[in-house]
């Protein structure tokens, strides 16, 4: 049996039926990571010992006929900005090179309770700032589909691990597109659920008002199942949504879905923006698939979307500058040896080990919160954010779902973003407005251009993950059947 070819749902079933053991599954995946045939560099830290020991315990459970969790036997990668007890959590930064958290993030506890096997910690852009994983102190992650190209970011390692057979599922974080963009670049399904539906307790914040944990899978069913497990109210997270348990309560992944009567809108603004011609073509074909599945599709105006990027970069850097103040050389991570007083201790610890992008954002964000600039930029952006949110609210009065390409560009060559010739800020323009409004969105593979993957983004109304997943299932089926 080719273990690497099995879906997450199949692995669990075969484990329950005693056709394979958790140890076989885990060792198969660990071998792939250790060989790392294409030098993907998808992991910063591997937890071989932890994974093997979890697998053995699980096999005991199977042997003793105990009830198995929903993630039983599934090898999972975790973005390295999520706290894991006793296992290094670096955030892709030199600053946290040796930091070992004394506690587990709530979502890690959930994965363990559900018998998932955590393989290790996935590479990411430093503190989740970036779109290519090139700002990681631990080196770039390669795209398993085209190894000279980036895997996307900031959750590039999480995406590459699932696409490159080094995990069956993985967890990422998405502040402006960091799950959906790498998922699209690696031909995967990526889901960023509604703000507050997966606990962020123990997740290192970048821009809290937009940060959201999301999931990666090789198909919609796997990703939706994983999402269902992780969406859970958590009293330790003040932004956690109380009724999370109700969102996917009636989800039936085996139901035949069509889109009859579903109203889908395409924001005209999205169509006007610069976008790769091949991606546009795949998107138009995707629209035809949705139509043939029964959806009713119209264009609509959402005039404030245009300001999404500017608004995001003001708010996210302002929040990041404040969040990163906790890395002061005293409480966590690196402490300089070169200081005479407290100010120097702070300054030198940070200067010595923060990378360029982190410094750029801290500097810019601090400026935006200082003196008169605060009113001019920060407060103004909060107002613009409200207008963008209202654009979506109007849209969802008329439409069930909205669609766009996930990214305006195909996976690009390693190096062109970090040397400044490619603007990383442009690549998230379709995904950013979703975070500003706190909405759920999914990316589903929508065909290739010159061998490189593209994705269609489906956006839902608050807490309507159900419609999102149904549409994604239908679309994925439509593509497979060549509708
Ligand atoms: N690429 C975006 C940025 O650099 C998004 C990052 C993210 O979602 N964490 O800000």
pLDDT tens string 221-262:
999 999 999 999 999 999 999 999 899 988 889 888 899 999
| 482 Cα–ligand 1 center, Å | 34
Cite the beta strand spans of 285-436 per DSSP E.
296-300, 401-405
Average pLDDT over residues 307-332: 96
Tens digit of each residue's pLDDT (9 = 90 or more) over 8-42? 999 999 999 999 999 999 999 999 999 999 999 99
Cβ atoms 378, 368 nearer than 8 A:
yes
Average pLDDT over residues 285-301: 98
Average pLDDT over residues 174-203: 98
pLDDT(418) > 80: no
Q: Pick the catalytic residue from 14, 79, 200, 429.
A: 79
pLDDT(43) > 80: yes
| 262 Cα–ligand 1 center, Å | 31
Q: Please, what is the Cα angle at 214 between 443 and 39, to 5 degrees?
A: 80
Q: Decide: residue 342, CB within 10 A, 0-12 exposed, 13-18 middle, 19+ buried.
A: exposed
428 pocket-lining for ligand 1 (C-beta < 6 Å): yes
The pTM is what?
A: 0.97
Question: What is the C-alpha to C-alpha distance for residues 82 and 101, in angstroms, rounded to an integer?
Answer: 10
Tens digit of each residue's pLDDT (9 = 90 or more) over 112-150? 999 999 999 999 999 999 999 999 999 999 999 999 999
> Residue 142 phi/psi, 5° resolution?
-95, 155
- Burial call 418-445: b when 16+ CB within 10 Å, e when fewer: beeebebeebbbbbbbbbbbbbbbbbbb
Question: What is the C-alpha to C-alpha distance for residues 107 and 227, in angstroms, rounded to an integer?
Answer: 11
Average pLDDT over residues 199-223: 98
Return mean pLDDT, the chain: 96
Residue 288, sorted as left (phi over 0), alpha (psi -120 to 50) or beta, turns out to be alpha
Question: Is 404 designated active site?
Answer: no
Atom of ligand 1 nearest to the CA of 357: 4
pLDDT bin (cut points 50, 70, 90) of residue 74 is: very high
């Amino acid at each position: 049996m080719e273990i690497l070819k099995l879906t997450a749902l199949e692995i669990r079933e075969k484990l329950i039926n005693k056709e394979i053991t958790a140890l076989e599954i885990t060792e198969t995946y660990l071998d792939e990571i250790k060989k790392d045939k294409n030098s993907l560099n998808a992991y910063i830290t591997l937890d071989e010992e932890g994974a093997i020991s979890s697998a053995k315990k699980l096999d005991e459970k199977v042997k003793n006929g105990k009830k198995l969790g929903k993630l039983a036997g599934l090898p999972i990668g975790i973005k390295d900005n999520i706290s894991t007890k006793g296992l290094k959590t670096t955030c892709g930064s030199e600053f946290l090179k040796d930091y070992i958290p004394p506690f587990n993030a709530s979502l890690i506890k959930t994965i363990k309770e559900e018998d998932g096997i955590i393989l290790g910690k996935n590479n990411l852009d430093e503190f989740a700032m970036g779109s290519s994983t090139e700002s990681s102190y631990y080196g770039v992650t390669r795209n398993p589909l085209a190894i000279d190209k980036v895997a996307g970011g900031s959750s590039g390692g999480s995406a590459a691990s699932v696409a490159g057979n080094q995990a069956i599922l993985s967890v990422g974080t998405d502040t402006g597109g960091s799950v959906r963009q790498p998922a699209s670049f690696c031909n995967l399904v990526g889901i960023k659920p509604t703000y507050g539906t997966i606990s962020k307790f123990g997740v290192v914040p970048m821009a809290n008002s937009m940060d959201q944990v999301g999931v990666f899978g090789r198909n919609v069913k796997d990703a939706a199942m994983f999402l269902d497990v992780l969406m859970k109210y958590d009293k330790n997270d003040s932004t956690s949504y109380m009724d999370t348990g109700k969102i996917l309560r009636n989800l039936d992944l085996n139901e035949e879905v069509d889109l009859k009567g579903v109203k889908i809108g395409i924001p005209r603004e999205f169509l006007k923006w610069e976008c790769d011609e091949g991606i546009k073509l795949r998107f138009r074909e995707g629209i035809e698939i949705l139509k043939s599945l029964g959806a009713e599709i119209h264009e609509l105006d959402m005039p404030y979307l245009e300001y999404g990027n500017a608004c995001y970069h003001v708010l996210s850097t302002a929040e990041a500058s404040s969040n990163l103040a906790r890395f002061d050389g005293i409480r966590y991570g690196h402490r300089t040896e070169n200081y005479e007083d407290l100010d120097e201790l702070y300054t030198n610890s940070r200067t010595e080990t923060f990378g360029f992008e982190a410094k750029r954002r801290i500097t810019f964000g601090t400026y935006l919160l200082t003196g008169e600039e605060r009113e001019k930029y920060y407060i103004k952006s909060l107002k613009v954010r409200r207008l963008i949110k209202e654009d979506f609210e109007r849209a969802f009065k008329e439409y069930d779902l909205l669609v766009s390409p996930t990214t305006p560009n195909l996976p690009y060559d390693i190096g062109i973003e970090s040397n400044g010739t490619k603007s990383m800020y442009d690549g998230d323009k379709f995904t950013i407005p979703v975070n500003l409004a706190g909405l759920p969105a999914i990316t589903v593979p929508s065909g290739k251009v010159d061998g490189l993957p593209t994705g269609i983004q489906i956006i839902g109304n608050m807490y309507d993950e159900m419609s999102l997943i149904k549409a994604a299932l239908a679309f994925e089926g439509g593509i497979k059947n060549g509708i």
